[in-house]
C-alpha cells in the first residue's frame, strides 16, 4: 500500500481519495484523504460533489468499488 501511495504522490495529483484500512497505516501527504471503507468514501463524495476532475479508480475486486462509481 505504501508503494502505491508513493507512486501516486509522485504523479502530482491535486487530490487523492483512498479507501481501505491498510491506507491509514501509510505515510501520505495532506492532499490524500483516507477512508476506512467505501461507505465513508461515498459519504464524502455525496457531501463534496467533485466536478472538473478525472477519476482513476483502482482496487482489488474485494473492495467492491463499483459502489463508489455509482455515486460519481
Identify whether the C-beta of residue 58 lies closer than 8 Å to the C-beta of residue 3.
Answer: no
Inform me whether the pLDDT recorded for 70 exceeds 90.
no
Q: What pLDDT shows up at residue 60?
A: 76
In angstroms, the CA 19 to CA 7 distance is 16
User: Is 35 buried (19+), middle (13-18) or exposed (0-12) by CB count in 10 A?
Assistant: buried
The count of C-alpha atoms lying within 13 angstroms of the C-alpha of 31, restricted to the half-sphere facing its C-beta, is 10
Q: What pLDDT shows up at residue 26?
A: 95
Q: What pLDDT shows up at residue 5?
A: 95
Q: What pLDDT shows up at residue 6?
A: 96
In angstroms, the CA 70 to CA 72 distance is 6
Q: What is the pTM of this model?
A: 0.84
Residue-wise pLDDT for 20-63, tens only, equals 989 999 999 999 999 999 999 999 999 998 888 888 887 878 88
Amino acid at each position: 500500500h505504501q508503494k502505491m501511495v508513493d507512486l501516486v504522490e509522485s504523479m502530482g495529483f491535486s487530490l487523492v481519495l483512498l479507501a481501505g484500512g491498510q491506507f491509514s497505516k501509510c505515510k501520505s501527504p495532506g492532499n490524500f484523504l483516507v477512508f476506512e471503507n467505501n461507505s465513508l468514501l461515498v459519504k464524502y463524495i455525496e457531501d463534496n460533489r467533485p466536478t472538473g476532475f478525472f477519476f482513476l479508480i483502482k482496487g482489488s475486486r474485494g473492495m467492491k468499488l463499483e459502489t463508489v462509481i455509482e455515486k460519481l
